[in-house]
Amino acid sequence: MAIRNIMKQGEPVLNKKCKTIKEITPKTLEILEDLAETMYKFDGVGLAAPQVGILKRMVTIDVGSGLLELINPEILETRGSVTDVEGCLSVDDFVGEVTRPEYVKIRAVNRDGKAIEIEGHGLLARAFCHEIDHLNGVLFTEKVEREVK
Ligand code: CO
């Protein structure tokens, strides 16, 4: 396990679409572990592989109810909408309001290669959307409606 450097806004790697993972290898698991360690180190609630310079569809999330390691996550269903303050470990000194669905159901693959579905409300739903956006090269700054000072 290792703490990785976090790429900051302006790095081209943050604006690229990540590749689907076809096979889970020891390297895949090492990246997941590093993502989690780096996320906790910097007090994030989520971290996506491109934020550490890796263009693969992998994220970790922990909104306070345990670590989620998600490979190839995709949104299956959304409901409602909530506008709330959001930030990102790749964007220093800036937070802003973003409207996201209140409920999001995702499908992903876990570290054992098993297909999983997870439902999230509120902050977890927001984290799913924010991290999956990263995998598509989208930063939350593109979606901010109002900066919060
Ligand atoms: Co982010």
Query: Per-residue pLDDT tens for 13-26?
Result: 999 999 999 999 99
Active-site position among 11, 23, 30, 131 = 131
Cα–Cα distance, 63 to 112 (Å, whole number): 22
Q: Return mean pLDDT, the chain.
A: 97
Cα of 90 vs centre of ligand 1, distance in Å, is 6
pTM, entire model: 0.97
Q: Catalytic: 11?
A: no
Task: List, for residues 72-123, the tens digit of each pLDDT value.
Answer: 999 999 999 999 999 999 999 999 999 999 999 999 999 999 999 999 999 9
* 147: its two tokens: 């900066």
For ligand 1, the distance from its centroid to the CA atom of residue 101, given in whole angstroms, is 17
Q: Output the CA 108–ligand 1 centroid distance in Å.
A: 19
- Both tokens of 120, joined, read 């999230």
State residue 90's pLDDT score: 98
pLDDT the model gives residue 87: 97
